[in-house]
Structure 1
Amino acid sequence: MTDAAPRTGAVRGRRPPQGDPVVDRALALLAAFDTAHRALTLAELSRRSGIPVSSALRLAGRLTAWGALERGADGRFTIGLRLWEVASLAPRGQGLRQVALPAMRDLAEVTGQHVLLAVREGHEAVLVERLSDRGAMPVLYDVGGRLPLHSTGVGLVLLAHAPAEFQAEHLEQPLVHEPERVPVSPADVRRTLDRVRREGLATVHRRTPQPLLAVAAPVVDASEHVVAALSVLVPEAAADPRTVGPAVRTVARAISRGLGSRRSAGSPGAGTVR
């Protein structure tokens, strides 16, 4: 793509009432990729985006020329490095990561497992960083992946500090634990959110892919808003929430101080998610 102004002229058919159809289609192509579909053939790209093959090929060619997509020798498309470079400029991810990484490394070294950092994006949590020891247990989420708010440690922290209106809207949805597909009671989630706000920690016991304990705490910025959640994942058999919890809370407070907060993250009175 170039910086030249777009050409004007007749447009076939009617334009949608909202949005630019070319931009919308290009975004739909990019949205076809996820952690389970990192490389797609043209046919797969067309099917997952809902765009006809001919249009998908044309748009994918433009995105490839710009660097948002790359095409391998086997003809499959992957997300391009240029798009990663642009995404890395997002202040909610990059600035937060720069402050958090040193403290996260210390926590990862102590636990020898996984340390996660996530922010809220709509009705999901997005994992912006994960540090993992070489011998750590298998986990389901990679950097850039999305996690449910109601059944993960980081998600519960972010949901607990979200505005009340957002919480009510979220709890009106059908809720299930993933990947177990076990229904979740909104009343149970509300009680859990009360406990998270009261204790400053979220604790989640999981059975899949193997028994683990997730303990998460809020990260607060200079405006005293909860901007992220920090979590550690450890094997349940070797974990003691009474020792893991204080460690996670301490590291979350250190990150919060690095962001300019004067209030102790994880303490009662932490602000809402911005």
Structure 2
Amino acid sequence: MPSPGVAAVDRALTILAAFEIEQTPLSLAELARRTGLYKSTLLRLMTSLQEFGYLVQLADGRYHLGPTPFRLGAVYQRANNLHDQVMPVLRQLVTAGTESASFHVRHDAKQRLCVFRVDSQHSTLDRVEAGMLLPLDRGAAGRIILAFDGEMGETSDEIRKNCIATSFGERDPDCAGLACPVFGPNGKLAGALSLSGPKPRFTKENIKAMSSLLLTAATRLTRSLGGSSELLEKISTSAPVESHSREMSRRARK
């Protein structure tokens, strides 16, 4: 479906999006292949993108993202006051011995953005980094976003009922994940708080412990963002979170 916007702007944004697939410098030929644009069109647009710092050309002739996207990302974080609210929660989860903790928001109709990430204390990790775009229809965080943004269906109904989504090998066959919603004002979904890592560590016992910690963390973050935590509190498991935290920390030290 054609975009209702300005064609030249759409093409320029398509060029920038080409760098999201793989964070390496790209040649003009590779950019043409990824965007479907003629090289002559690319060169005209990329002149403007370089002028405003969105792209830089390296000594070998290849192109990479410039400093402007990073600067705008920093502005986004400051404006939304998310960094100071989310990062302490992610660090506390990891300190308690969980898998790697992330916070995801919807990017568009098909993708989610990992906004923040804190790696676990384990030696092996899943391949997720802040700034990555990931599919909405695969992975626990994506399913949380779809469910609490109103997607219909039995799976989404169950997720809304339990406030927890699990994923085993959906996006990466060797990895698994847990996620739950975080709410902002007026009951609107602020994002998905998730824990992810190698699939063998997602045993039934670990999932139970991490789910309790995750729901407690999401409740705390929801309150700090001005949302109602009533649903999360209702769903939270009855087992004391402190005991889960001590047990997860003990396993992490092994």
The TM-score normalised by the length of structure 1 is 0.74
Q: Show CA shifts across 1:97-152 (max 9, x none).
A: 33111111111222363111101232322111111136443424332222223331
Partner of 1:48: 34
The yes-or-no answer on 1:206 pairing with 2:169 is yes
Unaligned runs of 5+ in 1: 1-15, 169-189, 270-274
Partner of 1:223: 186
Q: Is the 8 Å Cα contact of residues 154 and 229 (structure 1) preserved in structure 2?
A: yes
Q: Is the 8 Å Cα contact of residues 110 and 137 (structure 2) preserved in structure 1?
A: no
Partner of 2:158: 195
One-letter amino acid matched to 1:257: R
Q: Is the 8 Å Cα contact of residues 176 and 198 (structure 2) preserved in structure 1?
A: yes
Q: How do 1:102-113 and structure 2 match up within 5 A?
A: 102-111=88-97, 113=99
One-letter amino acid matched to 1:131: V
Q: Percent identity?
A: 28
SS of corresponding position for 2:70? helix
- TM-fit CA distance, 1:34: 1.4
Partner of 2:241: none
Q: Is the 8 Å Cα contact of residues 93 and 128 (structure 1) preserved in structure 2?
A: no
One-letter amino acid matched to 1:132: D
**CA distance, structure 2, for counterparts of residue 230 and residue 124 of structure 1:** 16
Partner of 2:20: 34
**CA distance, structure 2, for counterparts of residue 154 and residue 55 of structure 1:** 37
One-letter amino acid matched to 1:150: D
Partner of 2:114: 127
Partner of 2:143: 156
**CA distance, structure 2, for counterparts of residue 26 and residue 208 of structure 1:** 29
Structure 1 residues 69 and 219: CA distance shift in structure 2, 3 A: same
Match of 1:147 among 130, 134, 143: 134
- Structure with the bigger percentage of helix: 2
Structure 1 residues 128 and 50: CA distance shift in structure 2, 3 A: same
After superposing the two structures, state which structure 1 stretch, 222-231 or 207-216, moved more: 207-216
- TM-fit CA distance, 1:157: 1.0
**CA distance, structure 1, for counterparts of residue 71 and residue 165 of structure 2:** 33
Partner of 2:226: 260
The TM-score normalised by the length of structure 2 is 0.79
Structure 1 residues 28 and 147: CA distance shift in structure 2, 3 A: closer
Q: Is the 8 Å Cα contact of residues 139 and 167 (structure 2) preserved in structure 1?
A: yes
- TM-align CA RMSD: 2.7
Structure 1 residues 93 and 149: CA distance shift in structure 2, 3 A: farther
Structure 1 residues 113 and 155: CA distance shift in structure 2, 3 A: same
Structure 1 residues 221 and 159: CA distance shift in structure 2, 3 A: same
Give the number of equivalent residue pairs.
230
Match of 1:233 among 190, 196, 200: 196
- TM-fit CA distance, 1:91: 6.1
Q: Is the 8 Å Cα contact of residues 100 and 255 (structure 1) preserved in structure 2?
A: yes
Partner of 2:250: none
